[in-house]
Amino acid sequence: MVNHVERFAPSPTGLLHLGHAYSALTAFEAARDAGGTFLVRVEDIDTTRARPEYEAAIFDDLAWLGITWEQPVLRQSERFGAYQAALDDLKVRDLIYPCFCTRKEINAAMSAPHHDGSATGPDGPAYPGTCRALPVDAARLAHAPYALRLNMRKAVASVGGAGIVKKLSFKELGKGPNGERKKVNLDPGYLIESCGDIVLARKETPASYHLSVVLDDAFQQITHITRGQDLFAATFIHRLLQALFGRPTPLYRHHRLITDEAGKRLAKRDDARSIQAFRADGATPEDVRKLLGMRT
Ligand code: GLU
C-alpha cells in the first residue's frame, strides 16, 4: 500500500462552494492517482456554528462530484480530550497563558500611539501581549471567560531558537501566494512579530483551527495536505506546532484560489456560488469541473 493519505476537512458551517470543490477534487484525485487513501474530516469544532444539515449537504455534494472517501468519518467534536491533553502539555511547559482581553480591549491597545500595528499574521494583527505576564489569579480563572494563547517567543525558543526554526521547513508541492515552491523555511521573525501570541483555545471552542488541525492531521497520519493558498501563512504556524508536539510534517500542496468574475475570493456566505445552487440550476459535475478549469 502506498503511503499517501490526503484529507478534505470542511467545516459544516455553510454550504460547499466552488473553492471547496476544487480543494476536494484536487486532493481526491491526487490520492487516487497515487493509489493512496482519501479521508473526509468534519471540522465541527465550533459547536455554536456547526449544523448537521450542512454536514449532510457537504457529503451529498462531494458524492455528486464523484468523490468517495473512507469510513468512518472523523469529527473534531469527538476529539476534545486530545486537544485538552495537548493544551495541558503546553501548560506544563509554560508555553501558553490565559488571556482575558475582549476584542474591544485588544483593538484599543493596538490603536494606542506607541503600538506598531503593522505586523499581521494569518489570524490578523499580532496580539499586543497585554495578558502575557499577568500573575496567576485562580479566582479570575474560575469566573471570567478567557482564551489560551501560545507565548510565541517562548515557543520558538523551545524548539531551539531562531537558528533552528530557520531549519524547520516544509515541502511545497504546489505554490505559495508569492510563488514559493519546493522547500519553504520557517521565518522566526514572521512567527514572533507577525503571528504573535496566537489563540489556541477559547471558552466556546476547546481548540483553535491551528491546534486541532495539527493534532488531527497527525492522528490520521495524513501525508499530503492539499488546500488553498489562503492557508499558506497558517502552514508556518502548523509547522511550528508540529515541532512543538514532535509530530511529523506532511507535504503541502497549496493551490490557486477560485475567484468570482470580479477576482474576489469566494466565501461561504456567497450562497449563489454554492455547489447546491449550481445543482439546482441543472449543472452537471462536468460543468463544475469546467468552471474550475479542471480536466473533464
Ligand atoms: N476546516 C478548514 C477550512 O474549511 C480546513 C482547512 C485545511 O484544509 O486545513 O478552511
Are residues 224 and 111 part of one domain?
A: yes
Give domain status of residue 185, yes or no: yes
Residue nearest to atom 6 of ligand 1 (CA): 9
Domain with 98, as residue range(s), is 79-249
Residue position matching grid coordinates 490520521:
220
The band of 108, judged by pLDDT with boundaries at 50, 70 and 90, is confident
C-beta of residue 78 within 8 angstroms of C-beta of residue 87: no
Relative to the CA of 217, which ligand 1 atom is closest?
A: 9
Atom 5 of ligand 1: nearest residue by CA position: 9
Q: Is the pLDDT of residue 268 over 60?
A: no
CB 255 within 8 A of CB 226: yes
Query: Is residue 193 situated within a structural domain?
Result: yes
Indicate whether 55 and 135 sit together in one domain.
Answer: no
Do 191 and 152 fall within a single domain? yes
Q: 66 and 84 share a domain?
A: no
Q: For the residues of 16-61, what is the DSSP string, one character each?
A: -BHHHHHHHHHHHHHHHHHT-EEEEEE----TTT--HHHHHHHHHH
Q: What distance in Å separates the CA atoms of residue 25 and residue 220, rounded to the nearest whole number?
A: 19
Ligand 1 pocket test, pick from 123, 226, 227, 253 with the greatest ligand atom count within 8 Å of Cβ, gives: 227
Residue 263 confidence (pLDDT) above 90: no
Residue 254 lies in a domain: no
Q: Does residue 235 share a domain with residue 287? A: no
Tell whether 61 and 89 lie within a shared domain.
no
Distance of CA 102 to the CA centre of its chain: 23
Do 94 and 52 share a domain, yes or no? Answer: no
Identify the CA nearest to 101 among candidates 91, 113, 109: 109
Question: In ligand 1, which atom is closest to the CA atom of 234?
Answer: 9
Number of structural domains the chain divides into: 2
Cβ-contact 41, 222 below 8 angstroms: no
> What does the alpha-carbon distance between residue 91 and residue 149 come to, in Å, rounded to a whole number?
10
Q: What is the CATH number of the domain that holds 137?
A: 3.40.50.620
What would the pLDDT profile of 155-202 be if each residue is shown by its tens digit? 999 999 888 888 899 999 999 999 999 999 999 999 999 999 999 999
Q: In sequence order, which residues have a C-beta less than 8 Å from that of residue 83 and are 6 or more positions away?
A: 201, 206, 207, 211, 212, 215
Residue of 209, 219, 238, 249 best suited for mutating to test ligand 1, as the one with most atoms within 8 Å of CB: 209
- Residue 283: other Cβ atoms inside 10 A: 14
The pLDDT value recorded for residue 163 is 86
What are the tens digits of pLDDT across the range 62-105? 999 999 999 999 999 999 999 999 999 999 999 999 999 998 98
Are the C-beta atoms of residues 274 and 16 closer than 8 Å to each other?
yes
Question: Based on the domain organization, do 66 and 163 belong to the same domain?
Answer: no
Choosing from 77, 231, 235 the residue with most ligand 1 atoms within 8 A of its CB, the one to mutate for a pocket test is 231
- Residue 212 CA, ligand 1 centroid: distance in Å: 10
Do 96 and 161 lie in one domain? The reply is yes
- Please write the tens of the pLDDT for every residue from 124-148: 999 999 999 999 889 999 999 999 9
- C-alpha 6 – ligand 1 centre gap (Å): 13
Residue 117 lies in a domain: yes
* Cα 140 to middle of ligand 1, angstroms: 33
* Among candidate residues 255, 227, 288, 225, the one with its CA nearest the CA of residue 64: 288
Q: What is the C-alpha separation between 260 and 76, in angstroms, rounded? A: 31
Taking CA atoms only, the protein residue closest to ligand 1 atom 10 is 10
Is 184:172 a contact under the CB 8 Å cutoff? yes
Q: Which atom of ligand 1 is nearest to the CA of 7?
A: 8
- In sign, the C-alpha dihedral spanning 108, 102, 242, 135 is positive
CB contact at 8 A, 7 and 41:
yes
φ, ψ of residue 169 in degrees (nearest 5)? -140, 170
pTM: 0.93
- Which pLDDT does position 271 carry in this prediction? 64
CA dist 43 → 148, 217, 220 (Å): 20, 12, 13
